[in-house]
Amino acid sequence: MRLRSFFFSIFSFSHSPSLPSSSSRFSSLRAAMSPALEKSRQGNGECNEVSKSKVTVVGSGNWGSVAAKLIASNALKLPSFHDEVRMWVFEEVLPNGEKLTDVINKTNENVKYLPGVKLGRNVVADPDLENAVKEANMLVFVTPHQFMDGICKKLDGKITGDVEAISLVKGMEVKKEGPCMISSLISKQLGINCCVLMGANIANEIAVEKFSEATVGYRGSREIADTWVQLFSTPYFMVTPVHDVEGVELCGTLKNVVAIAAGFVDGLEMGNNTKAAIMRIGLREMKALSKLLFPSVKDSTFFESCGVADVITTCLGGRNRRVAEAFAKSGGKRSFDELEAEMLQGQKLQGVSTAREVYEVLNHCGWLEMFPLFSTVHQICTGHLQPEAIVQYRENKL
């Protein structure tokens, strides 16, 4: 415990030039909320029940359950939030015949996606998407990115009033006119502002309260970003705001492609030197593509938790690396769909679909030769190249 406190004090101090101390920062946040989230106060300094913010987490997988746990712990402590945190759960029937939502509400535990971890007595699982978001004015989206278009369509016209959103979703939608980031998809389809939260965050480690960092990307006013920082921050989970939604979100998206490449290296037992080289090259391509797509992306964003730190942790311990390692060990003979079903117990692999989406963007824009590593990852995933080609990416004909 002393070691955790020591590290937290060091990391907090390192960000002190831009952020005041926790107590002064949080007190100032409550006095400087965005207009959509201003809270009227009673004489004793507490918020009226009607004016308190209500939070719904849209998603209940591994990371979604951890997000609900973080938010629920703060909702109980902060007077400006309702105690109850709703969590939309895609209903499933467990092997024992019980519904997943019933088990979560009975045991306070997501026994399928985050077993052994209590979410908080104030987390309520709801299988009805529309009912889960009803009356909520703070929406946290955390589902596989391939489901987000359908979710937004279901919620179109159902979100009313002053609502703020944040996306923890890693991925993008590729349309005829070009790539569409998930935060933009949410904003356009639902008509609400959307921040993003990305970082070096392996969910199972945060669930057992090992120290970690994350980055909130925001556009416009800093005030709403500070509110999200307040809602997610704990002594073991430190969140820093950055005025760069696209940069933060693209880091969280593209690093999964780099993790697939790192997994190939591990599966072929090429060693740490090779893996370090692939990570460096991958980060370089991440930065170059991000700035081509959005010239406003800041160089400094790549040194935040969402950038280099997320690349490191995902290439060392993420699910994309792990499944790609198994793919390479099979010589590319076992499909990613087969390995995903076998290894992830219902969780979704993001890196392979993101590699395909990135390839589509590069091909459409005529940029394939500028991003040989990204292009090679996709070609290996689709069987056009063998896993060994990951170290011959410069020689591959695109």
Q: Which two tokens stand for residue 255?
A: 């690093």
* Predicted local confidence at residue 47, as pLDDT: 55
Burial of 9 (0-12, 13-18, 19+ CB in 10 A): exposed
Q: How far is CA 147 from CA 5, 124, 348, 350, 388, in A?
A: 38, 22, 11, 12, 32
Rounded to whole angstroms, the Cα distance separating 275 from 268 reads 11
For range 42-50, the mean pLDDT: 51
**SS3 label, residue 30:** helix
Q: Could you read off the pLDDT of 57-115 as tens digits, one per residue?
A: 999 999 999 999 999 999 999 999 999 999 999 999 999 999 999 999 999 999 999 99
pTM for the predicted model, two decimal places: 0.85
> Is 17's pLDDT higher than 60?
no
> Is 37's pLDDT higher than 60?
no
* Predicted local confidence at residue 176, as pLDDT: 62
When pLDDT is cut at 50, 70 and 90, the band that residue 3 belongs to is very low
The Cβ of residue 61 has, within 10 Å, a number of other Cβ atoms equal to 22
Judge whether 197 and 170 are in contact, CB under 8 Å.
Answer: no
Higher pLDDT, 20 or 57: 57
Rounded to whole angstroms, the Cα distance separating 65 from 389 reads 37
When pLDDT is cut at 50, 70 and 90, the band that residue 395 belongs to is low
Judge whether 37 and 164 are in contact, CB under 8 Å.
Answer: yes
Distance from the first to the final alpha carbon of the chain: 52
For range 279-289, the mean pLDDT: 97
Q: Which residues pair with 62 in a beta bridge?
A: none
Q: Which residues are catalytic?
A: 255
For range 102-129, the mean pLDDT: 97
> Is 11's pLDDT higher than 80?
no
**Strand ranges, E, within the chain:** 53-58, 81-88, 123-126, 138-141, 164-167, 172-175, 178-181, 193-198, 212-217, 237-242
* Predicted local confidence at residue 9, as pLDDT: 38
* Predicted local confidence at residue 46, as pLDDT: 52
If you search the block for the tokens 């998407």, which residue do you land on? Answer: 129
Rounded to whole angstroms, the Cα distance separating 31 from 12 reads 22
> Is 203's pLDDT higher than 60?
yes
Judge whether 142 and 59 are in contact, CB under 8 Å.
Answer: yes
Q: Could you read off the pLDDT of 215-241 as tens digits, one per residue?
A: 999 998 899 999 999 999 999 999 999
Percent over 70 (pLDDT), the chain = 85
When pLDDT is cut at 50, 70 and 90, the band that residue 173 belongs to is confident
Question: Over the range 238-251, which residues count as b (16 or more CB within 10 Å of their CB) and which as e?
Answer: bbbbbbbbbbbbbb
